[in-house]
Structure 1
């Protein structure tokens, strides 16, 4: 092993979401695998993701035709062809960036990025429809992949503990959180010394609608603050559909029938997001289930005062740099935001501490820790 080239494979064929693509881009762009004795990195992904990756002398890009076709054909490729292609390239270890893998390649390291299937009671909120059946299938596939893997990467301690309550103890686990881009860290938000006399207090919640993200409760909370006389407005940035979007639309119709204080922005590009955040006064994050709350991290990096859910890994990430609430209780959300409005010292300290904490999350650290971990797995074979 010492005298031969070290070749790492990356299966990024399922990296379709913005966060998943950002992880692969950060992994390739910010670290240097050659520093860890890696000679070649082979990545399998769809064309648009490969096109967004920089060219490196050690990087070899693979775009099988199936990855541009239906999900069914992508799964068939992963199940039956990926192993052969990785073997033909003499890959030493395959890093799968999504634990929902059907590949039987070994040795393999997988990353856990989906926690819905492991949070008690979370799948029940979807009822017995297509979404719940899909999550049950993911649970079965992920459990098998993680139990068979030579190593498992988690994004937070919370997610590592939650998953292993279901899977049992897993082999060679580690925690390597994702990073936050410099676009957010370099954006300077200066919190107002006082919000009490401000003509408009802008709050923002960045997330697509899901049953566990409770946007409708945030709307209720803001409506409650307006009844108390606070000139609060709410920006909801992120699309969504299904039952969760219907619940949000119904609550907006009920609480803000004249469209006076709730604004929904369906899509915001990564380049636009730092400016949108910096223009607001308070960030609200009301999700009850996250592996690593990336949009929370982005608000932290910009330096916004934050009112956050007290569930999941949010207290692990935000620590003492925010005011917490129960996302299932609109009154709890209302009181948390009210505290940030009325208590200047709390709000200013929250913003300062949050920005400092965000500096611990860098793509350079994520990338280099990942390369080191993969090489250590090869040495231990």
Structure 2
């Protein structure tokens, strides 16, 4: 059995996290071979059944990558006698030999969210989202297997196109983030008092602006007791807009922007937060939310799907579009310690449902089933 994985689009973030965890749990079938095309930045675990290849073409360029996938990869699949081509990036630009099945995955919700697409200025990025919408729909309609990472995302796509074999397999939570029963040192760079934590890159649909506006309306006593800590790269126009609001509201001493924090340092931040917050309105599987829940700390969260699908009763929900609604829920959470205690217990229970080993083994099982040799 030979599976070829085209991971060339996994250049950063969640795409790499997914693949790293997938390769931690490779099945122990004697005749299994896995050929992986991956960028240099993707550090895969070594495994005797996995052969990693970096194309000679400069596939960092999306256009060059698309040409390589269309004209070169089909010949490799034929030469390698591949049984399955897996494209976890959601785009299939390759016509494989008739004997090779195709699997893909839906991870990027932005091309299918018109509210977000309308916030993107006219130009290449808006055109890219328009093209991705069409290419991804075509890829999923033609694939022999499409893996969805939330039931919500699956419902969106199935309302637009017929999918041959859909399966929902949510992402897992790394053991690194399951700190609710561990002693975790508090980083020195955190504020000395209690804090509300929001981890996310700055973008309009992440609603940092509304969060800061809501925080600024809290009574002064609560703002002095609880610092708002924002973690995420701050070199963007949206980050500048949020910084301007912080200045206008006079919150420079009460809102801390830590910038980008290394991935392995995030568990301690979640663990020591008085309250974790997640305000995004466009997600497929909200990894940051799941990782925050795994800390066992209470959570308040966007009420836009799929967040309630993953949070269930382990969070208090608000409309991320309405700073007054965020204020209402934030005030309730900060004023009722008994509610937060219940949320902490629910967060531990809910996060226990998401595990990378289970996610990976289910994924490999579906891919291997496509070979028809099991």
- Normalising to structure 1: TM-score of the pair? 0.90
The answer on 1:99 being equivalent to 2:99 is no
Paired with 2:31 and 2:227, the residues of 1 have a C-alpha distance of 51
Q: CA deviation at 1:240?
A: 5.0
Structure 2 CA distance for partners of 1:255 and 1:144, relative to 1, 3 Å? same
> Considering only aligned residues, what root-mean-square deviation do their CA atoms show, in Å?
2.1
Aligned counterpart, 2:159? 165
How many corresponding residue pairs?
Answer: 362
Q: CA deviation at 1:67?
A: 4.8
Structure 2 CA distance for partners of 1:100 and 1:228, relative to 1, 3 Å? farther
Q: Is the 8 A contact 1:222 1:232 kept in 2?
A: no
Aligned counterpart, 1:324? 317
Structure 2 CA distance for partners of 1:326 and 1:272, relative to 1, 3 Å? same
Structure 1 unaligned residues grouped into runs of 5+: 1-5, 191-198
Aligned counterpart, 1:18? 13
Paired with 1:84 and 1:216, the residues of 2 have a C-alpha distance of 50
Q: Deviations over 1:206-239 (max 9, x none)?
A: 1001121100111111111144644221111111
Paired with 1:201 and 1:138, the residues of 2 have a C-alpha distance of 42
Q: Is the 8 A contact 2:299 2:316 kept in 1?
A: yes
- Normalising to structure 2: TM-score of the pair? 0.91
Q: Deviations over 1:257-311 (max 9, x none)?
A: 5x21111122111211111221211011000010000000110011111010000
Q: CA deviation at 1:327?
A: 0.2
Q: Is the 8 A contact 1:212 1:289 kept in 2?
A: yes
Q: Which moved more, 1:131-140 or 1:232-241?
A: 232-241
Q: Deviations over 1:324-354 (max 9, x none)?
A: 0000011111111111111122111111111
Q: 1:174-253 to 2 correspondence within 5 Å?
A: 174-186=167-179, 188=181, 200-227=193-220, 229-230=222-223, 231-239=225-233, 241-253=235-247
Paired with 2:229 and 2:283, the residues of 1 have a C-alpha distance of 21
Aligned counterpart, 1:302? 295
Q: Is the 8 A contact 2:293 2:347 kept in 1?
A: yes
Q: Is the 8 A contact 2:34 2:50 kept in 1?
A: yes
Q: Is the 8 A contact 1:46 1:67 kept in 2?
A: no
Q: 1:246-325 to 2 correspondence within 5 Å?
A: 246-256=240-250, 259-325=252-318
Aligned counterpart, 2:76? 85
Structure 2 CA distance for partners of 1:38 and 1:159, relative to 1, 3 Å? farther
Q: CA deviation at 1:81?
A: 1.3
Paired with 2:272 and 2:337, the residues of 1 have a C-alpha distance of 18
Q: Deviations over 1:75-97 (max 9, x none)?
A: 22222212222222111011111
